[in-house]
Amino acid sequence: MKRIYFVTEGRTDQIVIQGLIEKWLGEEDFVPIPIQPPSSAYAEGLDSNLSEGWKGVLAWCSGQRIEGPVGRDEAFRQADCLIIHMDTDVATDPDFKSPVFDGPCPPVESACNWVRNYLTVSLGGSLPSNVVFCIPTQDMEAWVLCALHPDVAGDYAPIECRQEPGTLLVQRAPYRLVRRKEGRLKKEAIKYQRNLSRIMQGWPNCTAGNEPRCSQAVRIEQEAKRVLARNRPIFP
């Protein structure tokens, strides 16, 4: 049975990505192992930088937690597939990398590749073949919006260049996955889980056709399927 490790910015990101893995594996069982953000079982005593968000993902990739059951080296050794997620919107954050990315969008892949390259350096410069990057542009909510509300995504095409696409999900019926709390977007993990099957059913809205709405969704699907088809990881 395959062991799939997840390093994600947040809980809702992991819910969506795990749903995609289930979709792509079909009836094949697998063991999901969420290691970032840390579950409550691992949270005690961990550095606060290894909690939620991109800072936690970057810290993990940089080796601030090397050993142990949720350490980087352990994941490299044990995972049949290790998914590392980070939203592309970090490219314009000077706390992520300075100078920031200042290229245009479209093309959407430019900022995505910029983030991927920096994560690769943080991981040591070369990746085992069991590692798959999931780098949505601008963030995961662009894909979720496109899956559930393709007409809305079409109104804001190219949706992958839309800043803060989660604002288009705020209290949007019938799913209401996102709300505002104290001026910030709050993603409802329970509602993401409840509506996961609908997100998966709508996934072709992101990837289908000769000119798919979400090119980076196509990319993660192709790269993940290649890794999932292997029996064992191959290390550089």
Q: Is the confidence at residue 11, as pLDDT, over 50?
A: yes
Residue that has been written with the tokens 């979709």 in this structure: 23
> Helix, strand, coil shares of the chain as percentages rounded to 5?
45, 15, 40
User: What's the rounded Cα separation, in Å, for the pair 93 and 170?
Assistant: 23
Q: What is the pLDDT of residue 233?
A: 46
- What is the distance, to the nearest Å, from the Cα of residue 108 to the centroid of all Cα atoms in its chain? 16
User: What's the rounded Cα separation, in Å, for the pair 127 and 7?
Assistant: 15
Integer CA distances (angstroms), 216 to 35, 156, 158, 188, 213, in order = 23, 17, 12, 24, 9
Assigned token pair, 88: 């592309």
Q: Is the confidence at residue 46, as pLDDT, over 80?
A: no
Residue that has been written with the tokens 């990315």 in this structure: 101
Residue 218's SS3 state is: helix
Q: What is the pLDDT of residue 39?
A: 62
CA angle 28, 220, 94 (to 5 degrees): 135
Q: Which residues contact 96 (CB under 8 A, 6 or more apart)?
A: 54, 58, 90, 118
Q: What is the pLDDT of residue 134?
A: 98
Question: What is the Cβ-side half-sphere exposure of residue 20, based on CA atoms within 13 angstroms?
Answer: 28
DSSP string covering 103-158: --SSSTHHHHHHHHHHHHHHTTS---TTEEEE--SS-HHHHHHHHH-HHHHHHTSS
Residue that has been written with the tokens 């290790």 in this structure: 82
- Lowest average pLDDT, out of 46-50, 137-141, 205-209, goes to 46-50
| Mean pLDDT, the chain, whole residue set | 90
Predicted confidence (pLDDT) per residue in 78-120, tens digit: 999 999 999 999 999 999 999 999 999 999 999 999 999 999 9
Higher pLDDT, 142 or 127: 142
